[in-house]
A and B are shown apart, each in its own frame.
Chain A
Amino acid sequence: MKIGVVTFPGTLDDVDASRAVTIGGNEAVALWHGDHDLKGVDAVVLPGGFSFGDYLRCGAISRFSPVMTEVIEAAKKGMPVLGICNGFQILCESHLLPGALIRNDHRKFVCKDQVLRIENNSTPWTSSYDKNAEITVVLKNGEGSYVADEATLDLLEGEGRVVARYLGGNPNGSLRDIAGITNERGNVVGLMPHPEHAVEDLCGPGTDGLGFFTSLAATVFA
Protein backbone atom coordinates (compact mmCIF):
# COMPACT_ATOMS: atom_id res chain seq x y z
CA MET A 1 0.00 0.00 0.00
CA LYS A 2 1.36 3.45 -0.91
CA ILE A 3 0.69 6.08 1.71
CA GLY A 4 1.36 9.73 0.91
CA VAL A 5 2.71 11.95 3.68
CA VAL A 6 2.20 15.66 3.00
CA THR A 7 4.79 18.24 3.96
CA PHE A 8 3.52 21.81 4.36
CA PRO A 9 5.84 24.73 5.14
CA GLY A 10 6.24 24.33 8.92
CA THR A 11 5.36 20.64 9.13
CA LEU A 12 7.71 18.86 11.52
CA ASP A 13 6.45 15.31 11.97
CA ASP A 14 6.51 14.27 8.32
CA VAL A 15 9.71 12.22 8.68
CA ASP A 16 8.41 10.42 11.78
CA ALA A 17 5.11 9.77 10.00
CA SER A 18 6.89 8.36 6.94
CA ARG A 19 9.02 6.15 9.16
CA ALA A 20 5.91 4.90 10.97
CA VAL A 21 4.29 4.15 7.61
CA THR A 22 7.32 2.10 6.60
CA ILE A 23 7.52 0.26 9.93
CA GLY A 24 3.81 -0.43 9.53
CA GLY A 25 4.59 -2.36 6.36
CA ASN A 26 3.52 0.22 3.79
CA GLU A 27 5.40 2.38 1.32
CA ALA A 28 5.71 6.06 2.27
CA VAL A 29 5.46 8.58 -0.56
CA ALA A 30 6.52 12.16 0.13
CA LEU A 31 4.00 14.73 -1.08
CA TRP A 32 4.67 18.48 -1.17
CA HIS A 33 1.90 20.94 -0.30
CA GLY A 34 2.32 22.66 -3.67
CA ASP A 35 1.79 19.42 -5.62
CA HIS A 36 -1.32 19.07 -7.70
CA ASP A 37 -1.26 15.29 -7.81
CA LEU A 38 -1.26 12.53 -5.25
CA LYS A 39 1.26 10.36 -7.15
CA GLY A 40 -1.07 7.40 -7.17
CA VAL A 41 -1.14 6.85 -3.40
CA ASP A 42 -3.82 4.71 -1.76
CA ALA A 43 -4.07 6.85 1.37
CA VAL A 44 -2.77 10.11 2.81
CA VAL A 45 -1.38 11.18 6.18
CA LEU A 46 -1.42 14.86 7.13
CA PRO A 47 1.28 14.99 9.81
CA GLY A 48 1.78 17.25 12.80
CA GLY A 49 3.64 20.51 13.04
CA PHE A 50 2.94 24.21 12.64
CA SER A 51 1.97 24.57 9.01
CA PHE A 52 2.28 28.15 7.76
CA GLY A 53 3.35 29.02 11.31
CA ASP A 54 -0.20 28.36 12.50
CA TYR A 55 -0.88 31.99 11.59
CA LEU A 56 -4.52 33.08 11.45
CA ARG A 57 -5.71 29.77 12.92
CA CYS A 58 -4.05 26.34 13.03
CA GLY A 59 -4.55 24.68 9.67
CA ALA A 60 -6.52 27.58 8.16
CA ILE A 61 -3.97 28.54 5.50
CA SER A 62 -2.77 24.99 4.74
CA ARG A 63 -6.33 24.00 3.97
CA PHE A 64 -5.94 26.05 0.77
CA SER A 65 -2.62 24.51 -0.31
CA PRO A 66 -2.84 23.06 -3.84
CA VAL A 67 -2.44 19.45 -2.67
CA MET A 68 -5.47 19.82 -0.39
CA THR A 69 -7.75 20.23 -3.41
CA GLU A 70 -6.73 16.70 -4.43
CA VAL A 71 -6.85 15.35 -0.87
CA ILE A 72 -10.35 16.72 -0.27
CA GLU A 73 -11.62 15.34 -3.57
CA ALA A 74 -10.09 11.91 -2.93
CA ALA A 75 -11.34 11.84 0.67
CA LYS A 76 -14.86 12.54 -0.53
CA LYS A 77 -14.54 9.52 -2.84
CA GLY A 78 -13.50 7.33 0.09
CA MET A 79 -9.71 7.45 0.16
CA PRO A 80 -8.39 6.93 3.72
CA VAL A 81 -6.96 10.14 5.19
CA LEU A 82 -5.39 10.41 8.64
CA GLY A 83 -4.72 13.85 10.12
CA ILE A 84 -2.53 13.89 13.21
CA CYS A 85 -2.45 17.00 15.44
CA ASN A 86 -1.90 19.85 12.96
CA GLY A 87 -3.29 17.44 10.36
CA PHE A 88 -6.46 17.08 12.46
CA GLN A 89 -6.72 20.87 12.56
CA ILE A 90 -6.35 21.00 8.77
CA LEU A 91 -9.10 18.37 8.33
CA CYS A 92 -11.47 20.42 10.50
CA GLU A 93 -10.61 23.63 8.62
CA SER A 94 -11.26 21.70 5.37
CA HIS A 95 -14.69 20.68 6.67
CA LEU A 96 -13.81 17.04 6.07
CA LEU A 97 -14.39 16.67 9.80
CA PRO A 98 -16.86 18.65 11.93
CA GLY A 99 -15.93 20.97 14.78
CA ALA A 100 -12.72 22.87 15.45
CA LEU A 101 -9.64 22.82 17.68
CA ILE A 102 -8.97 25.74 19.98
CA ARG A 103 -6.29 26.68 22.49
CA ASN A 104 -5.92 24.34 25.46
CA ASP A 105 -8.17 25.45 28.34
CA HIS A 106 -5.17 25.75 30.71
CA ARG A 107 -3.28 27.82 28.10
CA LYS A 108 -0.10 25.74 28.31
CA PHE A 109 1.59 23.55 25.73
CA VAL A 110 1.31 19.89 26.79
CA CYS A 111 3.90 17.21 26.10
CA LYS A 112 3.31 13.88 27.82
CA ASP A 113 2.52 10.22 27.39
CA GLN A 114 -1.24 9.93 27.09
CA VAL A 115 -3.56 6.97 27.52
CA LEU A 116 -6.35 6.67 24.95
CA ARG A 117 -9.25 4.32 24.44
CA ILE A 118 -9.84 3.26 20.83
CA GLU A 119 -13.63 3.34 20.66
CA ASN A 120 -14.06 2.83 16.93
CA ASN A 121 -11.93 0.09 15.37
CA SER A 122 -13.84 -0.05 12.10
CA THR A 123 -11.93 2.77 10.37
CA PRO A 124 -9.12 1.95 7.92
CA TRP A 125 -6.71 3.48 10.45
CA THR A 126 -7.81 1.63 13.57
CA SER A 127 -8.82 -1.85 12.44
CA SER A 128 -5.67 -3.38 13.97
CA TYR A 129 -6.91 -2.49 17.45
CA ASP A 130 -9.42 -4.35 19.57
CA LYS A 131 -12.50 -2.30 20.32
CA ASN A 132 -11.93 -0.30 23.52
CA ALA A 133 -8.21 -1.08 23.46
CA GLU A 134 -6.27 1.18 25.81
CA ILE A 135 -3.09 2.50 24.27
CA THR A 136 -0.36 4.94 25.33
CA VAL A 137 1.01 7.38 22.77
CA VAL A 138 2.62 10.82 22.86
CA LEU A 139 0.51 13.94 23.20
CA LYS A 140 1.98 17.34 22.36
CA ASN A 141 -0.11 20.36 21.51
CA GLY A 142 -1.00 23.92 22.38
CA GLU A 143 -4.29 24.06 20.53
CA GLY A 144 -5.71 20.61 21.01
CA SER A 145 -9.05 21.33 22.60
CA TYR A 146 -11.78 19.82 20.44
CA VAL A 147 -14.99 21.84 20.30
CA ALA A 148 -18.27 21.44 18.43
CA ASP A 149 -21.86 22.32 19.21
CA GLU A 150 -23.98 19.97 21.30
CA ALA A 151 -25.90 18.65 18.28
CA THR A 152 -22.66 17.72 16.50
CA LEU A 153 -21.24 16.08 19.63
CA ASP A 154 -24.44 14.05 20.08
CA LEU A 155 -24.31 13.04 16.42
CA LEU A 156 -20.67 11.92 16.72
CA GLU A 157 -21.44 9.89 19.83
CA GLY A 158 -24.64 8.46 18.39
CA GLU A 159 -22.98 7.29 15.20
CA GLY A 160 -19.91 5.87 16.96
CA ARG A 161 -17.68 8.44 15.30
CA VAL A 162 -15.56 9.17 18.37
CA VAL A 163 -12.49 7.15 17.37
CA ALA A 164 -10.39 7.79 20.47
CA ARG A 165 -11.04 9.30 23.87
CA TYR A 166 -8.63 10.55 26.55
CA LEU A 167 -8.33 8.38 29.64
CA GLY A 168 -6.79 9.36 32.96
CA GLY A 169 -7.59 13.05 32.76
CA ASN A 170 -8.41 15.47 29.99
CA PRO A 171 -5.16 17.08 28.83
CA ASN A 172 -6.54 20.09 26.98
CA GLY A 173 -10.21 20.71 27.70
CA SER A 174 -11.54 18.76 24.71
CA LEU A 175 -15.30 18.44 24.95
CA ARG A 176 -16.38 14.99 26.11
CA ASP A 177 -12.70 13.97 26.34
CA ILE A 178 -12.57 13.54 22.56
CA ALA A 179 -9.09 12.78 21.20
CA GLY A 180 -10.08 11.72 17.70
CA ILE A 181 -13.08 11.49 15.40
CA THR A 182 -14.04 10.19 11.98
CA ASN A 183 -16.30 11.42 9.20
CA GLU A 184 -19.68 9.93 8.31
CA ARG A 185 -18.15 7.49 5.84
CA GLY A 186 -15.39 6.46 8.25
CA ASN A 187 -12.43 6.96 5.90
CA VAL A 188 -11.21 10.29 7.29
CA VAL A 189 -9.78 10.23 10.82
CA GLY A 190 -8.45 13.16 12.85
CA LEU A 191 -6.43 12.48 15.97
CA MET A 192 -4.78 14.99 18.32
CA PRO A 193 -2.16 12.71 19.94
CA HIS A 194 0.74 11.25 17.95
CA PRO A 195 0.77 7.50 17.24
CA GLU A 196 3.72 8.01 14.87
CA HIS A 197 5.92 8.78 17.89
CA ALA A 198 5.07 5.42 19.49
CA VAL A 199 6.13 2.84 16.92
CA GLU A 200 9.56 1.82 18.18
CA ASP A 201 10.72 0.77 21.64
CA LEU A 202 13.82 2.94 21.45
CA CYS A 203 11.90 6.23 21.36
CA GLY A 204 8.64 7.18 23.00
CA PRO A 205 6.41 5.26 25.37
CA GLY A 206 6.29 2.00 23.40
CA THR A 207 4.80 0.68 20.19
CA ASP A 208 1.09 1.19 20.88
CA GLY A 209 0.80 3.69 18.03
CA LEU A 210 1.81 1.19 15.38
CA GLY A 211 -1.76 -0.02 14.92
CA PHE A 212 -2.60 3.20 13.08
CA PHE A 213 -0.03 2.26 10.46
CA THR A 214 -0.65 -1.48 10.21
CA SER A 215 -4.44 -1.19 9.97
CA LEU A 216 -4.38 -0.21 6.31
CA ALA A 217 -2.60 -3.40 5.32
CA ALA A 218 -5.50 -5.34 6.77
CA THR A 219 -8.09 -3.19 5.06
CA VAL A 220 -9.58 -4.10 1.72
CA PHE A 221 -10.00 -1.01 -0.40
CA ALA A 222 -13.26 -0.55 -2.23
Chain B
Amino acid sequence: MARVVVDVMLKPEILDPQGKAVAGALPRLGFTNVVGVRQGKRFEIEVDEVTDAVLAEVEKMAETLLANTVIEDFVVRVEDPSGATA
Protein backbone atom coordinates (compact mmCIF):
# COMPACT_ATOMS: atom_id res chain seq x y z
CA MET B 1 0.00 0.00 0.00
CA ALA B 2 1.12 3.50 -0.68
CA ARG B 3 -0.33 6.91 -0.04
CA VAL B 4 -0.77 9.86 -2.34
CA VAL B 5 -1.63 13.14 -0.66
CA VAL B 6 -3.66 15.90 -2.27
CA ASP B 7 -3.50 19.28 -0.55
CA VAL B 8 -6.22 21.73 -1.52
CA MET B 9 -5.99 25.42 -0.62
CA LEU B 10 -8.20 28.36 -1.48
CA LYS B 11 -6.43 30.58 -3.99
CA PRO B 12 -4.57 33.45 -2.30
CA GLU B 13 -6.99 36.08 -3.63
CA ILE B 14 -10.10 34.26 -2.33
CA LEU B 15 -11.31 35.32 1.13
CA ASP B 16 -10.95 32.49 3.68
CA PRO B 17 -13.46 33.14 6.49
CA GLN B 18 -12.48 29.91 8.30
CA GLY B 19 -8.83 30.93 8.36
CA LYS B 20 -9.79 34.38 9.56
CA ALA B 21 -11.81 32.93 12.43
CA VAL B 22 -8.82 30.82 13.50
CA ALA B 23 -6.49 33.80 13.14
CA GLY B 24 -8.81 35.78 15.38
CA ALA B 25 -8.86 33.09 18.07
CA LEU B 26 -5.11 32.50 18.31
CA PRO B 27 -4.12 35.84 19.89
CA ARG B 28 -6.88 35.37 22.48
CA LEU B 29 -5.10 32.16 23.48
CA GLY B 30 -1.80 33.97 23.82
CA PHE B 31 -0.33 33.11 20.41
CA THR B 32 0.56 36.63 19.47
CA ASN B 33 2.98 36.14 16.58
CA VAL B 34 0.28 35.21 14.06
CA VAL B 35 -0.16 37.53 11.11
CA GLY B 36 -2.59 35.35 9.16
CA VAL B 37 -4.02 31.83 8.86
CA ARG B 38 -5.48 30.04 5.86
CA GLN B 39 -7.26 26.73 6.21
CA GLY B 40 -7.13 24.03 3.55
CA LYS B 41 -8.03 20.39 3.05
CA ARG B 42 -5.81 17.33 2.93
CA PHE B 43 -6.92 14.16 1.13
CA GLU B 44 -5.05 10.91 1.74
CA ILE B 45 -5.57 8.59 -1.20
CA GLU B 46 -4.53 4.98 -0.53
CA VAL B 47 -3.36 3.06 -3.58
CA ASP B 48 -1.72 -0.34 -4.15
CA GLU B 49 1.36 1.18 -5.65
CA VAL B 50 2.42 4.51 -7.01
CA THR B 51 2.91 4.53 -10.76
CA ASP B 52 2.80 7.30 -13.31
CA ALA B 53 -0.66 6.12 -14.32
CA VAL B 54 -1.89 6.23 -10.72
CA LEU B 55 -0.46 9.71 -10.23
CA ALA B 56 -2.11 10.88 -13.42
CA GLU B 57 -5.39 9.46 -12.14
CA VAL B 58 -5.07 11.23 -8.77
CA GLU B 59 -4.29 14.45 -10.61
CA LYS B 60 -7.51 13.94 -12.60
CA MET B 61 -9.48 13.21 -9.39
CA ALA B 62 -8.20 16.38 -7.81
CA GLU B 63 -9.15 18.43 -10.83
CA THR B 64 -12.57 16.78 -11.23
CA LEU B 65 -13.86 16.52 -7.67
CA LEU B 66 -11.44 17.19 -4.84
CA ALA B 67 -10.74 20.80 -5.77
CA ASN B 68 -12.87 23.47 -7.43
CA THR B 69 -10.20 25.04 -9.60
CA VAL B 70 -12.26 28.22 -9.89
CA ILE B 71 -11.40 29.04 -6.28
CA GLU B 72 -8.84 26.45 -5.16
CA ASP B 73 -5.30 25.30 -5.99
CA PHE B 74 -4.12 21.76 -5.35
CA VAL B 75 -0.83 19.90 -5.01
CA VAL B 76 -0.43 16.13 -5.47
CA ARG B 77 2.49 14.41 -3.74
CA VAL B 78 3.55 10.92 -2.76
CA GLU B 79 3.99 10.16 0.91
CA ASP B 80 6.68 7.57 1.61
CA PRO B 81 6.05 4.85 4.23
CA SER B 82 8.45 6.41 6.77
CA GLY B 83 6.13 9.40 6.91
CA ALA B 84 8.44 11.81 5.12
CA THR B 85 7.15 13.17 1.84
CA ALA B 86 8.91 12.89 -1.47
**Is the beta-carbon distance between B68 and A93 smaller than 8 angstroms?**
yes
Tell me the chain B residues, 13-35 only, with Cβ under 8 Å from chain A: 13-15, 17-18, 20-21
**Is the beta-carbon distance between A100 and B71 smaller than 8 angstroms?**
yes
**Is the beta-carbon distance between A57 and B68 smaller than 8 angstroms?**
yes
Query: Which residue, of A56, A61, A99, A145, has the highest number of chain B Cβ atoms within 10 A?
Result: A56
**Is the beta-carbon distance between B65 and A56 smaller than 8 angstroms?**
yes
Total chain B interface residues with beta-carbon distance under 8 A = 13
Residue A156, interface by CB 8 Å? no
**Is the beta-carbon distance between B17 and A107 smaller than 8 angstroms?**
yes
Give the residues in chain A near B10, CB-CB below 8 Å.
Answer: 102
**Is the beta-carbon distance between A148 and B70 smaller than 8 angstroms?**
yes
Q: How far is the CB of B41 from chain A (nearest CB, A)?
A: 8
Give the residues in chain A near B17, CB-CB below 8 Å.
Answer: 102-107
Category for how many chain A residues contact B: 20 to 34
Cβ-Cβ contact count across A and B, 8 Å cutoff: 36
Q: How far is the CB of A69 from chain B (nearest CB, A)?
A: 14
15 A-B pairs with CB atoms under 8 Å apart are A57-B68, A98-B70, A99-B70, A100-B70, A100-B71, A102-B15, A103-B17, A103-B18, A107-B18, A107-B20, A107-B21, A145-B15, A147-B15, A148-B70, A149-B13
Q: 12 new A-B pairs (CB below 8 Å) besides A102-B14, A107-B17?
A: A56-B66, A57-B68, A60-B65, A60-B68, A61-B65, A99-B70, A102-B15, A102-B71, A107-B20, A145-B15, A147-B14, A173-B15
